[in-house]
Amino acid sequence: MNLFEKIFNHQIISRLEDSGTFMVTSHERAWLKTMLDHPAAADAFTPGTLDKLRSILEPDQVMDTSRHLIEKARSQEQQVYHPLLRPLRRHIMNKTGIRLTYQIKSGRVNTDHSGCPYKLEYSMVKREWYLLWYHTRHHAFMRTRLKNIHSVAAEPMEPSMAEGILKKLGKKLDSRRSEAVIEIIRDYNEELSRILYAFSSFEKNVEYDTENDTYRVRVSLSADELEYLLSKLRFLGKRVRVMEGDYLKRRMLEASTKALDRYGVISEGEELSS
Amino acid sequence: MARESFDKEIQFLRMLVLTSGAFSRQQFAERLGISVHTFDKTIRRLKDVVSSMHQHLPQEQRKELSETIRFSYYDSADPLLLFLFRAKSVKESESQRISLLLGAMNEQALTAMELLDMYCGSLSPGLPLPDEKTIRSDLKYLEEVGVIKRESGPRPYRYRIQDELVRSLSDEELMDLYDFVDVMANTQVPSVQGYLLRDGLKKHLLRNQARQHAVEPFLYKYHYYSRILDEAHLFTLLHAIRQRRKVHFLYFSPKSEQSYVARSTNPLFERGTEGKTEKTLPLKIVYDHQYGRWYLLSYGREGIRKYRMEGITQIEEDESVNEAWYEEKKHELAEKIRYSWLIDTGRPVTVRARFYNPEDSEPNFVKERVRLQGQWGQIVMEDEHSFLYEITVNGTTEIKPWLRSFGSSCEVLEPARLRREMIAEWKEIQAYYESV
One domain for residues B329 and B396: no
- Whole-number pLDDT of residue B54: 64
Same domain, B202 and B236: no
Interface with B, mutate which of A5, A11, A195 (most B CBs under 10 A): A11
The pLDDT of residue A19: 86
**Range of the structural domain that residue B24 is part of:** 7-84
pLDDT at residue B98 in the model: 92
Q: Which residues pair with residue A109 across a beta bridge?
A: A103
B387 and B425, same domain (yes or no): yes
The 10s digit of each residue's pLDDT in B4-43 is 778 888 888 888 888 877 788 888 888 888 888 888 888 8
Give domain status of residue B342, yes or no.
no
Angle at A203 between CA A200 and CA A204, to 5 degrees: 80
Q: Does A52 touch chain B (CB under 8 A)?
A: yes
**Where residue B258 sits, what CATH number does that domain have?**
2.30.30
Contact (CB, 8 A) for A33 and B168 = no
Mean pLDDT of B411-433: 95
Q: Do A236 and B401 touch (CB under 8 A)?
A: yes
Query: For residues B391 and B325, what is the distance between their CA atoms, to the nearest angstrom?
Result: 32
Is residue B2 situated within a structural domain? no
Range scoring the smallest mean pLDDT among A254-258, B203-207, B415-419 = B203-207
Residues B242 and B329 in one domain: yes
Strands B218-221 and A109-123: parallel
Of A10, A230, A260, the CB nearest to B52: A10
Q: What is the pTM for the complete model shown? A: 0.90
Residue B77 confidence (pLDDT) above 70? no
B102 inside domain? yes
Q: What is the percent of chain B with per-residue pLDDT over 70, rounded to a whole number? A: 86
Task: For chain B, give percent helix, strand, coil, nearest 5.
Answer: 45, 20, 35
- Is B17 domain-assigned? yes
- Is A181 an 8 Å CB contact of chain B? no
Whether B203 maps to a domain, the answer reads yes
* pLDDT for res A267: 38
Stretches in chain A below the pLDDT threshold 50: 265-274
Regarding whether B420 and B326 lie in a shared domain, the answer is no
What pLDDT shows up at residue B262? 58
Tell me the per-residue pLDDT of B300-353, one tens digit each, with 9 for 90 and over.
Answer: 988 999 999 988 988 999 999 999 999 999 999 999 999 999 999 999 999 999
Listed residues B115, B136, B162: the one ending a domain: B162
Q: What is the overall mean pLDDT for chain B?
A: 85
B73 contacts on A by Cβ (under 8 Å): 203
Q: How many domains is chain B built from?
A: 5
Query: pLDDT tens-digit profile of B346-399?
Result: 999 999 999 999 887 667 889 999 999 999 999 999 998 999 999 999 999 999
Same domain membership, residue B250 and residue B331: yes
Say how far apart CA B49 and CA B56 lie, in whole Å. Answer: 13
State in Å, rounded, how far the first CA of chain B is from the last one: 62
Residue B68 lies in a domain: yes
- Would residue B1 count as lying in a domain? no
The amino acid at residue A234 is R
Is B63 in the same domain as B97? Answer: no
**B321 plus B374 within the same structural domain:** no
B179 CB neighbours in chain A (<8 A) are 44, 85-86, 89
Give the domain-ending residue among B54, B84, B114.
B84
B395-to-A80, A241, B191, B341, B350 alpha-carbon distances in Å: 32, 26, 31, 9, 9
CATH code where residue B137 lies: 1.10.10.10
Q: What is the pLDDT of residue B411?
A: 96
* Same-domain status, B298 and B356: no
**pLDDT one-digit tens code per residue, B247-293:** 999 998 877 666 666 554 433 333 345 778 999 999 999 999 988 89
ipTM: 0.92
Are B199 and B245 found together in one domain?
A: no
Cα separations in angstroms, B305 against A23, B288, B329:
41, 17, 12
On chain B, the residues whose CB falls within 8 A of the CB of A235 are: 401-402, 404-405
- Parallel, antiparallel, or unpaired for β B245-251 and B312-320? antiparallel
- Of B112, B143, B162, which marks where a domain is finished? B162
B341: in domain: no
* A140 min Cα distance to partner chain B (Å): 18
Confidence at residue B64, expressed as pLDDT on a 0 to 100 scale: 57
Helix, strand, or coil here: B243? coil
Judgement on whether residues B403 and B378 belong to the same structural domain of the protein? yes
Q: Burial of A10 by CB count in 10 Å (0-12 exposed, 13-18 middle, 19+ buried)?
A: buried
The CA distance from B312 to the nearest CA of chain A, in Å, is 15
Co-location of B324 and B280 in the same domain: yes
